[in-house]
Amino acid sequence: MYQATAQSVREGLVERWNDTYAHFHKENPKQAYYLSMEYLQGRALTNAIGNMGLTGEYSEALRSLGYTLEDVMSVERNAGLGNGGLGRLASCFLDSIATLDLPAWGYGLRYKYGLFKQGVDKATGEQLEYADDWLEVGNPWEVARPQVSYPISFYGKVVNGKWAPGKQVRAVAYDSPIPGYKTRNCISLRMWDAQPSAVEFDLAAFNASDYETSMGPTNLASMLCAVLYPGDGTREGKALRLSQQYMLCSASVQDILARWKERGNSDWSKLHEKVAIQMNDTHPTLAAPELMRILMDDEGLSWDDAWAVTKKTVAYTNHTVMPEALEKWPLDLVEELLPRHMEIIKRIDEEFIASAAKAKAAKAAKKDDKKKDDKKKKESEEEKPAMVRMANLCCISGMAINGVAAIHSEIVKDFTFNDFYKLFPEKFQNKTNGVTPRRWLAFCNPQLSAVITKWVGNDKWVTDTDELRKLAEHATNPELQAEWKAAKLARKKICKDYIKKVTDIDVPIDSMFDIQVKRIHEYKRQFLNILGIIYRYKQMKAMTPEERAKCVPRVCIFGGKAYATYTQAKRIVRLINNVGSVVNNDPEIGDLLKVVFVPDYNVSLAETLIPASELSQHISTAGTEASGTSNMKFQMNGCLIIGTLDGANVEIRECVGDDNFFLFGITDPEVEPARAERAAGKFVPDARFTETLEYVRSGVFGDKFEELLGSLEGNEGFGRGDYFLVGKDFASYLEAQERVDVAYADSMGWTESSIISTAFSGKFNSDRTIDQYAKEIWGIKPCTVPERK
């Protein structure tokens, strides 16, 4: 029934899709291309039906056949072709691009296996990883386009200024339709698959039974698109990742230029008037040197002409400021894999250094500035082995560089890329992230959506989220409050049933649902959350039954994957599970505290958890989370946030007001001094912190977690010594949690805050973000597909 429903929906989409392509072709507008190594599309069926406005029709048709739409849609596999926020952002952006009728589409890779499916070992609490074979039962949403394919070259050498490659594969296009909401426009997500190049197949070797030699190219091709983020600990692993990035860039740039020609364009100096390429972080950086290579070596442009147009065509979005996360590749590896590109990159570098020196001289740099620069230069020269720093290449080649939240974009300018900012301040922008209100409110939470539509007076809020403000006028109205609470309760029930099904844990429905879901990472501080829970548990154990009965009951829910080789993150998962085993089975505690780790967090699970949440945690060390996007989804669904002044939390708090946000922790400028204080041995932790660590060490949770706890204390051999300042923020976190408990006990006050949260979430609609990209970076305008006559 799922296949039948999907085929029927697809048929409706294909017509819109073809019309959109034909219309763009005819109008020949400037078009933007979003290049991303990741997309986290989630299920397509409900979204397509919802965007086409056919939810009622399909529900009815399925009911008449003895099925429910919910059951049918839940069969669909999640396309897990991403890892976290950056991938989900790309998918939200596609939804907004289509909805706003913009001429833009996405390019990615069609990995055979997604990140991994996560399980939990019942006995040890450890994370388990399984291959995510998402294509196993086929994918009704993709259309293979064998006629759209391009050669992708690797290795070899440069002969007379041109590349003589050593190996080749073919990139073949697979397209998925992305329908806009209430519009005929339907754009494409084009994903490349690698196939062996027939010219390389050594038939003679095969017939001589030398299968290994003859199948060499086949193996390379199947490796290229096998998995997302193959381990890059070895040189082979690095070569594979870089090859994947190059394949995305090369195939996409070839395709973009072919389309540009097909539409009758021919003046290369005006390419940027028809094409904008957005690089989602540095992973697609090679798009710039690849464009240069094609323009010079295939199209015959001079260096200057090619450079002039390239630097007006590509733009770069940064998603992290943590130095260790800024991509760099060994220069000799790039040289071996892509010799012609390495020449181009070296020349870009030389010309940049020369022009920067000129700019400096013209400015008659101050003496101390010069000293600093000399020191920097020395550092970079001394780096061994030499590295290609992708973000630097992006800053030099890009027409625009943007961060993803206001505070993040300031950090990018003032610290991360300050040298570049001083040279070209006009390139730097902010584009605060957003999320699509279709998937993340209208479709995932029909219960709350119905209440919203009733009180706002219509459903225009599904695109114009500023309409949600009208809810604020009624925030204290008992009737709205009752409906609001009923919607939340209905979602908590659905969530409770899901938790029971996958973990066998019974969670009480009238407890506060407190959720932290995101990739497991030290900077995101799931560790702080679980230590807070441990402290709470310890306190409760020390209480008399009468005192205990006064506690606000909580269900603490975690979800998220730890990268397979990230040991410390995996220890945190194990601690959470072990705490859960003890707390959930403690008869003294009963329903007052439950700790649940829901395995295999993905888009669909987020759609179950977020509508049910009452409190959510966004508690990264200030200055580390570029933006966060789940914070926006929780806010839209009427959930209150406990959080630090980091990423988009800052702007969310401005919108909801400080009464409706549980703030704690040190601020970004206080972080370095706090680290220095620790390093000097002057930091004295709060007694509650020390007490909590001792409690874990006493063995209450089975294992003593020495390596994990040691990391907080900077013990010999245990890493950087609480680099993310869990100890520093612990007291302030506990105090914020006390304010949460007090607030939750006042049910009317809490519901009012919940309504206010949704009411002032309008800014975080990705339609707003995309409108800004379109106007301020890409220079594209809506190109609306007309109705069929």
- Assess whether 728 carries a catalytic annotation: no
- Assess whether 23 carries a catalytic annotation: no
Q: Could you tell me the smallest distance in angstroms from the CB atom of residue 320 to ligand NBX? A: 6
Q: Could you tell me the smallest distance in angstroms from the CB atom of residue 431 to ligand NBX? A: 9
DSSP reduced 3-state for 595: strand
Q: Could you tell me the smallest distance in angstroms from the CB atom of residue 627 to ligand NBX? A: 4
Q: Give whichever of 23 and 238 is closer to ligand NBX, judged by the CB atom.
A: 238
Q: Give whichever of 325 and 509 is closer to ligand NBX, judged by the CB atom.
A: 325
3-class SS letters over 484-538: HHHHHHHHHHHHHHHHHHHHCCCCCCCCEEEEEECCCCHHHCHHHHHHHHHHHHH
In angstroms, the CA 729 to CA 667 distance is 10
Which member of 43, 112, 170, 633 is catalytic? 633
Q: Could you tell me the smallest distance in angstroms from the CB atom of residue 82 to ligand NBX? A: 7
- If we measure between CA atoms, which residue out of 685, 693, 773 comes closest to residue 429? 773
What six digits make up the tokens of 12?
């409706």
Q: Give whichever of 89 and 783 is closer to ligand NBX, judged by the CB atom.
A: 89
Q: Give whichever of 228 and 642 is closer to ligand NBX, judged by the CB atom.
A: 228
Q: Give whichever of 32 and 626 is closer to ligand NBX, judged by the CB atom.
A: 626
Residues in the chain, total = 789
Which member of 519, 554, 571, 678 is catalytic? 519
Q: Could you tell me the smallest distance in angstroms from the CB atom of residue 101 to ligand NBX? A: 24
Q: Give whichever of 320 and 481 is closer to ligand NBX, judged by the CB atom.
A: 320
What is the four-CA torsion angle of 679, 682, 687, 692, rounded to 10 degrees? 10
DSSP reduced 3-state for 147: strand
What six digits make up the tokens of 195?
């196939």
Q: Could you tell me the smallest distance in angstroms from the CB atom of residue 704 to ligand NBX? A: 31
In angstroms, the CA 280 to CA 32 distance is 13
Which member of 16, 170, 319, 536 is catalytic? 319
In angstroms, the CA 441 to CA 769 distance is 17
In whole angstroms, how far apart are CA 434 and each of 34, 402, 442? Answer: 16, 14, 15
Q: Give whichever of 626 and 639 is closer to ligand NBX, judged by the CB atom.
A: 626
What six digits make up the tokens of 330?
């060994």
In angstroms, the CA 277 to CA 186 distance is 20
- Assess whether 182 carries a catalytic annotation: no
Q: Could you tell me the smallest distance in angstroms from the CB atom of residue 316 to ligand NBX? A: 13
In whole angstroms, how far apart are CA 752 and each of 473, 485, 649? Answer: 11, 10, 20
The alpha carbon of 722 is separated from its chain's Cα centroid by a whole number of angstroms, namely 25
Q: Which residues have CB under 8 Å from 260's CB, separation 6+?
A: 271, 274, 275
482 with 748: CB under 8 angstroms?
no
- If we measure between CA atoms, which residue out of 596, 567, 537 comes closest to residue 710? 567
Vertex 562, ends 85 and 537: CA angle to 5°? Answer: 105
In whole angstroms, how far apart are CA 60 and each of 63, 73, 101, 579, 767? Answer: 5, 14, 29, 45, 30
Which member of 285, 317, 629, 644 is catalytic? 629
Q: Give whichever of 461 and 764 is closer to ligand NBX, judged by the CB atom.
A: 764
What six digits make up the tokens of 637?
């669904």
> For residue 280, what are the β-bridge partners?
317
Q: Quote the DSSP letter at residue 443.
A: I
Give one DSSP letter per residue of 89-136, joined into a string: HHHHHHHHHHHTT-SEEEEEE--SB-S-EEEE-TTT--EEEE---TTT
- Assess whether 112 carries a catalytic annotation: no
CB-nearest residue to ligand NBX:
85
- Assess whether 319 carries a catalytic annotation: yes
- If we measure between CA atoms, which residue out of 480, 516, 529 comes closest to residue 748? 480
Q: Quote the DSSP letter at residue 765.
A: B
Q: Give whichever of 146 and 237 is closer to ligand NBX, judged by the CB atom.
A: 237
The binding site for ligand NBX (CB under 6 A) comprises: 83-86, 89, 319-320, 325, 404, 433, 625-629, 647
- Assess whether 30 carries a catalytic annotation: no
Which member of 170, 389, 496, 518 is catalytic? 518
Phi and psi, residue 309, nearest 5°: -85, -35
- If we measure between CA atoms, which residue out of 301, 322, 298 comes closest to residue 310? 301
Phi and psi, residue 541, nearest 5°: -65, -30
> For residue 157, what are the β-bridge partners?
164
Q: Give whichever of 86 and 674 is closer to ligand NBX, judged by the CB atom.
A: 86
Q: Give whichever of 344 and 404 is closer to ligand NBX, judged by the CB atom.
A: 404
Residue type at 777 in one-letter notation: I
Which member of 488, 524, 561, 571 is catalytic? 524
Q: Alpha helices, DSSP H only, in 504-643? A: 526-541, 545-549, 567-584, 603-609, 630-636
Q: Could you tell me the smallest distance in angstroms from the CB atom of residue 232 to ligand NBX? A: 9
> For residue 189, what are the β-bridge partners?
106, 176
Catalytic residues: 319, 518-519, 524, 629, 633
